[in-house]
Amino acid sequence: MGTLWSRSGSYLSLLPESRSSERPGEDKDSDNESLDGIGRREDIAQFPYVEFTGRDSITCPTCQGTGRIPSGQVNELVALIPYSDQRLRPQRTKLYVVLSVVLCLLASSLVAFFLFPRSVVVVDDGIRSVTVYFDHSNMKVQMNMTSTLNISNPNFFSMLVQSVSCQVLYMKMVIGTQQLDNATTILPLSERQVNYTVSVEIGRNAPYVYAFCTMPSIKVHNIVIFVQTSVKTSYMVRSSQNSLEAYRYIDCGSNTTYYHTGEWLRHHLSTHSPPASVLIRSG
């Protein structure tokens, strides 16, 4: 007969066939049937390591009959484990899979929430001041117009204002342009004001404007201009451009400072009376 291996990695050396042949034929048939049966396999699996020495038996070359594996061969030997062993059955696999999926979804949601780019908000805060100069020899009106932009960064990372360009038109005629290339950084979840000044000149193509602006009988010399503003911003790997257009009233007859409603109230409370050259302009 051959060698049978137990669950612990040992084997059972059975008696040779010559001795087993002395048994009656019925006993031999019953032993063969029991070896093939489930009950016999369970009995063998519960056996401790036992080695039966006999004339035809061979000592296990691995443990030399001691039942212990040498420490130097731990990484070289392979253990045979029955299929029904509990160690081969996964423990809480569904729970681990569900937890992994939930954690991945939570991490991706947080990354998308904090790193998803949001559009930059640019608001034209209007004209702050106008300084007027007259060129009487050439009948021209020259003005320096200062405007303000409120730029808000709703993202969780810093953004860069690359450039601010402005073009001023009067009666579809370009009377002034300005380009600012100063890089301005806006911190996350913050707002910043950007001031820029545009030099405007009217006279050559519209000499009547000079006559209107220098007419002493008129106290307020308001003219309507069309202002086009473009703001280029960049953040992370994305670039955007915001364009603004608005009609504005300016006084071309004298230097003027424009206040919004809240600013004029603060100015009025501090001085008790507004200056004569101040125009109130609602925001």
Determine phi and psi for 278, rounding to 5 degrees: -90, 130
Query: Does 131 reside within a domain?
Result: yes
Residue 103 in any domain: the answer is: no
In terms of Cβ atoms closer than 10 Å to its own Cβ (0-12, 13-18, 19+), residue 267 is: middle
Total domains in the chain come to 1
Is 198 a member of any domain?
yes
Answer whether residue 102 is part of any domain: no
Residue 14 lies in a domain: no
Q: Does residue 100 lie in a domain region?
A: no
Has residue 38 got a pLDDT over 70?
A: no
Question: What is the reported pLDDT for 71?
Answer: 75
Answer whether 207's CB lies under 8 Å from 146's CB: no
Distance from C-alpha of 116 to C-alpha of 155, rounded to nearest angstrom: 8
Q: What is the CATH number of the domain that holds 237?
A: 2.60.40.10
Whether the per-residue pLDDT at 156 is higher than 80: the answer is yes
Q: What is the pLDDT of residue 197?
A: 93
Reported as a single tens digit per residue, the pLDDT across 235-274 is 888 889 999 999 999 999 888 887 654 554 454 455 544 4
Q: Is residue 12 part of a domain?
A: no
Range of the domain at 246: 121-256
Is the pTM value of this prediction over 0.75? no
| 32 domain residue, yes or no | no
Task: Write down the residue that tokens 């049966």 correspond to.
Answer: 37
pLDDT per residue as tens digits for the range 157-202 = 999 999 999 999 998 899 999 999 887 899 999 999 999 999 999 9
Q: What is the mean pLDDT of the chain?
A: 77
**DSSP assignment string, 1-61:** --EEE-TTS-EEEPPPHHHHTTS-HHHHHHHHHHHHSHHHHHHHHT--------SS----T
